Amino acid sequence: MTTIAASPPRARRSVAARTWAFVKRHALMVYALLVVAYLMLPIAVVILFSFNKPAGKFNYVWEEFTFDNWVNWNSVLGIQDAIITSLKVGLLATVVATALGTLMAMAIVRHHFVGRGATNVLVFLPMSTPEIVLGASLLTLFLNTSSIFQLGFITIFIAHVMFIVSFVVVTVKARLIGFDRHLEEAAMDLGANEATTFRKVTLPLIAPAMLAAALLGFALSIDDFVITYFNAGGTQTFPIFVWGIARVAVPPQVNVVASAIFIVAIAFALTNVFWEYRSAKRTRGAT
């Protein structure tokens, strides 16, 4: 009788004890997974609340599941224009910044010239300056030269190129440093001129780095709030739109757009992870 009565709690205790033993043995893994959960929590909330049907104007409390927000994602005034502006700025600024940054990286890595150190500092400085100072200083330039620059699309574009360039330089530089110059020498020895060598050898080899830099630049551009906020005038990018509407009430459509951006970005990144995993497997198989 007593043994029967006593056995269930003992079993439970042993389950608890076993769990505790597991946690102790794998403490590091448990901690790591908890941190991952913490990182994922807000993302899950953003996606979840994109399917919410808020009772009032505040989308803070879960009410009811609906697809309406996804179907009518552009029913909030201004949201569609803001996204189009964001995409336009992102694409334009990325293309220009990738071109400028790649050229700079090539000069810095492959040439020894007077002022190389200074150039490195010039590239490093914008990355180590708080965004608010970058935004504020650009605004003072534009205010003092208002006959040339009117705040709006063009000033947002200028600002984005300015802060993306440094990231492009750093990304492409890292790739160029591990670059085998003998390949180019071989091409030239085989009679290719400089232009052909660049087109047929150099460009294909640094293209992945340029693509990585461009993706990073685009992500930075589309996410930027602070610098854009200072230099946007009346023009709205998506983050500016969110800021404006956050003072009233954030509609679930904002979550829809953010979720969509997230899903596209994750798809790109997962493809990349999968790609690297496969090529790593292949090289392992080859050796």
Residues numbered 92 to 151 that lie near another protein (CB under 8 A) are: 99-101, 103-104, 106-108, 110-113, 116, 119, 122-123, 125-126, 128-134, 136-141, 143-144
Q: Identify which of residues 9 and 180 has a Cβ nearer to another protein in the complex.
A: 180
Residue choice 1, 4, 5, 39 for contact with another protein (CB under 8 A): 39
Q: Identify which of residues 205 and 261 has a Cβ nearer to another protein in the complex.
A: 261
Instruction: Give residues 222-241 in contact with another protein (rule: CB under 8 A).
Output: 222-223, 225-226, 229-230, 238-239
CB of 15 to another protein, least distance (A): 23
CB of 77 to another protein, least distance (A): 18
**By rule CB under 8 A, what count of residues binds another protein?**
86
Contact map string, positions 254 to 283, toward another protein, x by CB under 8 A: xx--x--xx--xx--xx--x--xx------
CB of 85 to another protein, least distance (A): 14
Instruction: Give residues 157-176 in contact with another protein (rule: CB under 8 A).
Output: 158-159, 161-162, 165-166, 169
| Interface with another protein, residue 35, by CB under 8 A | yes
Put residue 233 in one of left, alpha, beta given phi > 0 → left and psi -120 to 50 → alpha.
left
Only segment of 4-12, 66-74, 200-208, 219-227 that touches another protein (CB under 8 A)? 219-227
Instruction: Give residues 8-27 in contact with another protein (rule: CB under 8 A).
Output: none
Q: Identify which of residues 207 and 276 has a Cβ nearer to another protein in the complex.
A: 276
Only segment of 4-12, 45-53, 68-76, 199-207 that touches another protein (CB under 8 A)? 45-53
Q: How far apart are CA 96 and CA 35, in angstroms?
A: 37
Instruction: Give residues 176-205 in contact with another protein (rule: CB under 8 A).
Output: 181, 184-185
| Encoded amino acid at 156, one letter | I
Q: Identify which of residues 8 and 38 has a Cβ nearer to another protein in the complex.
A: 38
Helix (H), strand (E), coil (C) string for the chain: CHHHHHHHHHHHHHHHHHHHHHHHHCHHHHHHHHHHHHHHHHHHHHHHHCCECCCCCCCCCCCCECCHHHHCCCCCCCHHHHHHHHHHHHHHHHHHHHHHHHHHHHHHHHCCCCCHHHHHHHHHHHHCCCHHHHHHHHHHHHHHCCCCCCCCHHHHHHHHHHHHHHHHHHHHHHHHHCCCCHHHHHHHHCCCCHHHHHHHHHHHHHHHHHHHHHHHHHHHHHHCCHHHHHHCCCCCCHHHHHHHHHCCCCCHHHHHHHHHHHHHHHHHHHHHHHHHHHHHHHHHHHC
